[in-house]
C-alpha cells in the first residue's frame, strides 16, 4: 500500500498534479503569497476537489522541514520506484535505442535531484540506482529536480553489477566515468546507439564491480587545476556530450 508523503515547491507539486492528480490529497499554501504562478496552480487544483489550506510561513516551514518550499506544500500518495523486473519490462516497450543513466554511490539528495533534472533535459529514458547505499526520491530530491522526479522513470535495483550485465546482454553499451590510467577522453568515445552512462560519486567514484562491468571508461578533459567535478556537474557534461553526438547522428 502506498504511503503518504510530503512534497514541496512549485515545480514538484505541479508535476505531481499533472501526472498523478488522483494521488494529491491536500495542499497547504502560504497566506502571504499572491502571484500569477501560484494562482494558476490554485486554479488547476480547485476543480479536482483537492483540499486547500492556507498557513503562515512558520507552519509551512514545519510541514516541509525546509524553508525553501516556495509557498506550497502538498501531501500525496508516494509513487514507489520500479525494480529490475519493471526496468526490463520498460525497456521492452521503448521504440528507440535506450539512453540510460546509472548512478553508483550517489548518496546526496541534492546531487540526485540535479542529476534527474539534467537527465530529463537531455532526454534520458530512465535513471537507475542501487537500492542500498544510494539516495532515493525524497522531498529534497523532488524540489531540486524541478519536476523531473515525477516525469522521469526511476528504478532501484538490488545488484547494480548484475543489472549492468543484463543490459550488456541486451546490446546496451556501458560507459563509465573515471579518472584513471587507460580511460579515454569523453570526446573520443562513441556515445550513440543503445547507451548507459555510469556515474560514481565525487571522491569515492564507482565501486570496483561497477567499474569492471563498464565497456569503456572515460574522463572529462579539464584545463584548470582541479582534478574532478561534482557528480551532478560531471553528469551534465557527459550527458550533454552524449546528446550532441546522438543529435548529430540523427538519434
Give the pLDDT confidence score for residue 246 in this predicted structure. Answer: 94
Give the pLDDT confidence score for residue 119 in this predicted structure. Answer: 98
pLDDT in tens, 160-169: 999 999 999 9
Last residue of a domain, one of 46, 77, 108: 77
Overall average pLDDT of the 154-163 stretch: 96
Give the pLDDT confidence score for residue 39 in this predicted structure. Answer: 86
Domain at 25, CATH number = 3.30.1330.30
pLDDT in tens, 133-148: 899 998 889 989 988 9
Residue 102 shares a structural domain with residue 139? yes
The reported pTM is 0.85
Domain at 113, CATH number = 3.40.1280.10
Residue 32 shares a structural domain with residue 146? no
Residue 60 pLDDT > 80, yes or no? Answer: yes
Residue 99 shares a structural domain with residue 202? yes
pLDDT in tens, 173-185: 999 998 787 899 9
Containing domain of residue 200, as a range?
84-248
What is the SS3 assignment for the chain? CCCEEEEECHHHHHHHHHHCHHHEEEEEEECCCCCHHHHHHHHHHHHHCCEEEEECHHHHHHHHCCCCCCCEEEEEECCCCECHHHHHHHHHHCCCCCEEEEEECCCCHHHHHHHHHHHHHHCCCEEEEECCCCCCCCHHHHHHHCCHHHHCCEEEECCHHHHHHHHHHCCCEEEEECCCCCCEEHHHCCCCCCEEEEEEECCCECCHHHHHCCCEEEECCCCCCCCCCCHHHHHHHHHHHHHHHHHHCCC
Give the pLDDT confidence score for residue 36 in this predicted structure. Answer: 86
Residue 30 shares a structural domain with residue 106? no
Give the pLDDT confidence score for residue 176 in this predicted structure. Answer: 95
Give the pLDDT confidence score for residue 41 in this predicted structure. Answer: 85
Amino acid at each position: 500500500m502506498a504511503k503518504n508523503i510530503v512534497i514541496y515547491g512549485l515545480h514538484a507539486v505541479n508535476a505531481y498534479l499533472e501526472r498523478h492528480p488522483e494521488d494529491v490529497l491536500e495542499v497547504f499554501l502560504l497566506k502571504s503569497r499572491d502571484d500569477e504562478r501560484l494562482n494558476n496552480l490554485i486554479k488547476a487544483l480547485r476543480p479536482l476537489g483537492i483540499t486547500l489550506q492556507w498557513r503562515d510561513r512558520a507552519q509551512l516551514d514545519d510541514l516541509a522541514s525546509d524553508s525553501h518550499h516556495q509557498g506550497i506544500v502538498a501531501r500525496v500518495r508516494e509513487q514507489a520506484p520500479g525494480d529490475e523486473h519493471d526496468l526490463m519490462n520498460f525497456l521492452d516497450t521503448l521504440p528507440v535505442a535506450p539512453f540510460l543513466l546509472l548512478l553508483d554511490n550517489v548518496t546526496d539528495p541534492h546531487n540526485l535531484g540535479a542529476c534527474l533534472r539534467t537527465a530529463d533535459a537531455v532526454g534520458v529514458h530512465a535513471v537507475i540506482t542501487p537500492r542500498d547505499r544510494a539516495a532515493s526520491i525524497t522531498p529534497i530530491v523532488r524540489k531540486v529536480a524541478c519536476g523531473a522526479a515525477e516525469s522521469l522513470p526511476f528504478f532501484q535495483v538490488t545488484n547494480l553489477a548484475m543489472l549492468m550485465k543484463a543490459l550488456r546482454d541486451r546490446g546496451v553499451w556501458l560507459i563509465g566515468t573515471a579518472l584513471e590510467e587507460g580511460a579515454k577522453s569523453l570526446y573520443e568515445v562513441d556515445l550513440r546507439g543503445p547507451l548507459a552512462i555510469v556515474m560514481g560519486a565525487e571522491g569515492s567514484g564507482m565501486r570496483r564491480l561497477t567499474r569492471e562491468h563498464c565497456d569503456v571508461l572515460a574522463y572529462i578533459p579539464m584545463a584548470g587545476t582541479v582534478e574532478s567535478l561534482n557528480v551532478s556537474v560531471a553528469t551534465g557534461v557527459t550527458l550533454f556530450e552524449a546528446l550532441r553526438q546522438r543529435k548529430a547522428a540523427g538519434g
